[in-house]
Amino acid sequence: MSSQTITLGTQTITPKVQDLGNSYYIEFQVNITKYLNNPVNHTIDVNFICNKYKQVPSTNPLSPPTTVQKTIQECVDEWYNQHKSVYEVA
Amino acid sequence: MIRVIPLYSSSGTDPITNLPTSFGSPITGNSSFGQLLRFHPNYARLLIAITGLSGTSPSIQFTVGSYYGSNNYTLPPITSPQYVYIIGNENKTIITYLNTSGQVLQQVELPYNIFLNGVNVSWSVSGTSPSISAYIDFEIEDEEEGE
């Protein structure tokens, strides 16, 4: 289990991260101001699986994309992008 | 022939194949999905992959059943990511719970095949401001021609 400080909205969070091999298991808490378009003000628990790797296109169009490891910040940003229709974080 | 029928997917990545999925959105309330089949499959497998839960005490509980009839089975509430395989074969159903590392947590056997002419999956969600990421698909093996 490791932890590092990252940002989400205006908040600084320290997610707990567990390495599952090809993926991460990530847990953190964050304050939200909106849930499904309803104004709210409370803290939620978040836990999710994030694939550890992503593919990036090669600069050479003839070469295949390369696989690189994602950062925890990228995983959390990805989670928020997928949940923007549900939550607005403070 | 094996056919895979996705029943529901939050936007994100299929945790099993690592392929991107782009229909649906995170689950925030009760709902159900089903698939009708006009024959009895030789083999049917329902995969329920819960890949994330958010909210205050978020929880989701699934009921799985046949498209017709009263063969329903309610799974325990799920409060953290896990995978559930429900395999119907001949006259029994085997339900396997795995953690996100693929380790078997529990196995349950039912003395009947839950998938009669299809599948129906419903779920109820509880907690404050819940949002759940899930991937649910139904895989079947058609009867061979001439059988």
Domains with residue ranges and CATH for chain B: 2-141 (2.60.120)
Q: Which residues of A touch B53 (CB under 8 A)?
A: 45-48
Residue for token digits 């607005």?
A: A88
Nearest CA in chain B to A19: B101
Q: Which residue of A has its CA nearest to B24?
A: A82
Contacts within 8 Å (CB) and 24+ apart, B20-25: B21/B135, B25/A85, B25/A86
Cβ contact B128–A42 (<8 Å): yes
Angle value at C-alpha B94, between B93 and B95, nearest 5 degrees? 120
ipTM of the complex: 0.90
Residue A5 contacts residue A13 (beta carbons within 8 Å)? yes
Which residues are CB-neighbours of B137 under 8 A, at least 6 positions away? B4, B5, B6, B7, B9, B46, B47
pLDDT of residue B146: 46
Question: In terms of C-beta density within 10 A (0-12 exposed, 13-18 middle, 19 or more buried), how is residue B56 classed?
Answer: middle
Out of A22, A25, A44, the one facing B54 most closely (by C-beta) is A44
Q: How do the pLDDT tens digits run along chain A, 90 residues long?
A: 667 899 999 999 999 999 988 889 999 999 999 999 999 999 999 999 998 988 888 888 888 888 999 999 999 999 999 999 999 999
Q: Is B135 exposed, middle or buried, given 0-12, 13-18 or 19+ CB atoms closer than 10 A? A: buried
Report yes or no: A24 and A75 within 8 Å, Cβ to Cβ. yes
Radius of gyration of chain A (CA): 15
Please write the tens of the pLDDT for every residue from B23-77. Answer: 678 999 999 888 888 877 889 999 999 999 999 999 999 999 988 777 889 999 9
Do the Cβ atoms of B81 and A85 come within 8 Å? Answer: no
pLDDT value of residue A43: 97
